[in-house]
Amino acid sequence: MLAQAIEPVWAFPAAALSAAGALALFESWRRRTGAHRRIMAGGWLVLLLSVPLWIAASGPDRGAAMAVLAAMAAVSLILAVQYGRPDGRVRRTPNRLAAAVRVPVSTARVARTLYVVVLALPVALTAATCLAGVVYAATLAAGLPQPDALFWSVLTLPLAWGGLMVIPALDLTLRTRSLVMGGALLACGGALALAAATS
């Protein structure tokens, strides 16, 4: 019955976009130099473009979920192929700064790493949770029943958290990453507060 609900005309190009987006993100992670940021942005864009095709293929309820599952399956397959190579590991281009000099472990370096982890985990999760709350309020205001609003809210949370977790890992200055994450947290929190006040 699930197979009967899927339109192959839309499902095949949707699957191709999901695979291409996942491959682009993997290539961006592997390179870390040159145009890897443009490749990463292109990968996320292609994954987003696959969502309406998945919705057209299997309906609004299952389409977005299938887009996420297809991207996860593509990433899992890519990693399985890479780790199944004879050398047993992914060949990753070394970062130009890390290749130029080896910095000894210090208290400041450990503190910096822990700060990045805080940005990627609790800060990103809080911002994503606020955004999920905004989606829930917006879908209710649009007239969707509560189960559908809850579905879109729950779907938004891991997608937003995964997207925000990428930012602290970028090759940007720590100040820039902090400003971006702080801005995202303030924007999502402010939008949630506004949605709660107007609901």
Mean pLDDT value of segment 176-186: 95
pLDDT for position 79: 64
* Beta-carbon count within 10 A of 142 CB: 10
CA separation for the pair 194, 192 (Å, rounded):
5
Q: What is the pLDDT of residues 133-156, one digit of tens each?
A: 999 999 999 998 888 888 888 888
More confident residue, 32 or 90: 32
- Helix, strand and coil percent figures for the chain, each rounded to 5: 85, 0, 15
pLDDT for position 92: 52
Which token pair is 149? 């609003």
Which token pair is 79? 């990693």
pTM of the model: 0.59
CA separation for the pair 68, 22 (Å, rounded):
11
Q: Where in the chain are the domains?
A: 1-102, 103-199
pLDDT for position 97: 47
More confident residue, 184 or 2: 184
State what percent of residues in the chain have pLDDT above 70.
80
Q: What is the pLDDT of residues 58-72, one digit of tens each?
A: 877 677 777 777 777
Q: Which of 53-67, 79-93, 117-131, 139-153 has the lowest mean pLDDT?
A: 79-93
18 band by pLDDT with thresholds 50, 70 and 90 = confident
Mean pLDDT value of segment 69-85: 69
More confident residue, 126 or 80: 126
Which token pair is 134? 């905004």
CA 192 to chain centre: 20
Question: Do residues 124 and 165 lie in contact, with contact meaning Cβ atoms separated by under 8 Å?
Answer: yes
